Amino acid sequence: MLFNGETGVVQSMDGTSVTLILASKDACDSCGLKVVCAPGEEAERSLRLPSTAAFSIGQEVRIDELSNLELHLALIQFGLPMLAFLLGLFIGYLLPLQGFMPRELTAFLVACLGLGISFFVARKLISRIVDLIPERYLRIEVSA
């Protein structure tokens, strides 16, 4: 899990978001899920989350993951484009355009169109997930 059981320090706050500083792990270098986490050069990560909770700057907080965020993001980033491409191949193969262009070319072009559309759908879904992170995926509470 991405952030389960980690502790961080509140670096800054504004009315709608809080920025936490977390100690970097060895796995940060190879992590592909840098949607909300930005590893720094000084072995620390900066995590900015939308939050309405009242924290104070310098306060130590604990982050618990409530659901598998990595799996959801991976399914959207890789599964959705693959599904769109395969559906485009099948739909393009069934289109009655054989007199105009070869069936394989039609299937490939429609698959590429599906892939392009999936980019915008995935982008929208990931932005919605990032907005839902505090409520559905992470619990941020004051460390004891």
Closest listed residue to residue 33, CA positions, set 136, 121, 129 = 129
pLDDT band at residue 40, thresholds of 50, 70 and 90? low
The residue ranges of every structural domain in the chain are 6-65+138-142, 69-133
Half-sphere exposure for 57 (CA within 13 Å, toward CB): 4
Q: What is the pLDDT of residue 1?
A: 46
Q: How many alpha carbons lie under 13 Å from residue 121 in its C-beta half-sphere?
A: 15
Q: How far is CA 134 from CA 10, 36, 45, 109, 112, in A?
A: 15, 12, 17, 40, 35
Distance from C-alpha of 77 to C-alpha of 113, rounded to nearest angstrom: 17
| CB-based burial label for 35 (10 Å; 0-12, 13-18, 19+) | middle
Q: How large is the average pLDDT for residues 97-110?
A: 85
Query: Residue 1 is encoded by which pair of tokens?
Result: 């899990």
At residue 15 the predicted structure's pLDDT band, cuts being 50, 70 and 90, is confident
CA dihedral 26, 31, 35, 36 (to 10 degrees): -10
Whole-prediction pTM value?
0.59
* Residues 124-137 pLDDT 10s: 988 887 776 666 67
115 pLDDT band (50/70/90 cuts)?
A: very high
